[in-house]
Amino acid sequence: MFTGIVTDIGEVIAVAARANNLSRLRIACHYDRASIGDGASIACNGVCLTVVSAGVEDGRTWFSADAAAETLAVTTAGRWRHGTRLNLERALRIGDELGGHIVAGHVDGIAQLVAREDLTEMARLTFQAPPQLSRFIAPKGSVALDGVSLTVNEAKDDGFEVLIIPHTLEVTTFGALRPGDAVNLEVDLMARYAARLIERR
């Protein structure tokens, strides 16, 4: 479980194909190597991945994780290459501050950035969501995009808009997003359950 508050920007330093359609990813980060144990969960651009090994090379911590075929198909992980920058977040611990919203790290689909308006120190981003997910997105509701907890400003049809504040632009990969880029979308868990309850009436 995560909160959508990014704590580091990692970088993919190796991608290797493995048996059973797995992809082994090695990701460099700034976390303390001693704090990363095998089996730990780390959200990478919103995708919850399990650490299978970790180490230090050239003074920089790295960890490896496997992405299964479903993950590669449903998320942007299948497009990650050497040099891809990723928003990272460690798993929520009891007692941690819940600064964003409850994020499972289970990506629902891929959204595309269709417009970007750069304002004074901020940016207004407009995304296109998959039609089957847009019904879970509402004004003032929460979404996780590439692992970042954001509040929806406007939502119409399959499009929605978010405003990115200066701090978020600085500490995430959002500063480099351009129209046409794809991001991992996780809809609000509460919205999903509410829709399910309505469907069963």
Range of the domain at 138: 109-199
Q: Is residue 199 over pLDDT 70?
A: no
Same-domain pairing of 81 and 32: yes
Catalytic (active-site) positions: 2, 41, 48, 50, 68, 106, 151
**Higher-scoring residue by pLDDT: 56, 20:** 56
Residue at a domain's end among 22, 55, 90: 90
Q: Which helix (H) or strand (E) holds 168?
A: helix 166-171
Token pair of 106 as six digits:
């289970």
98 lies in some domain: no
Q: Which helix (H) or strand (E) holds 9?
A: strand 8-17
Same-domain pairing of 149 and 191: yes
Please, which residues have CB within 8 angstroms of residue 34's CB and are 6 or more apart in sequence?
A: none
166, amino acid identity: P
Q: Per-residue confidence at 97, pLDDT binned at 50, 70, 90?
A: confident
Q: What CATH number should be reported for the domain holding residue 56?
A: 2.40.30.20
Interval 72-89: pLDDT, tens: 999 999 999 999 999 999
- Give the mean pLDDT of 153-162: 96
Report the DSSP pairing between strands 23-29 and 8-17: antiparallel
103 lies in some domain: no
Same-domain pairing of 128 and 72: no
Q: pTM of this prediction? A: 0.93
Same-domain pairing of 82 and 127: no
Same-domain pairing of 194 and 129: yes
d(CA 192, CA 139): 15
Cβ–Cβ < 8 Å for 82, 13: yes
177 lies in some domain: yes
- Give the mean pLDDT of 16-38: 94
Same-domain pairing of 125 and 56: no
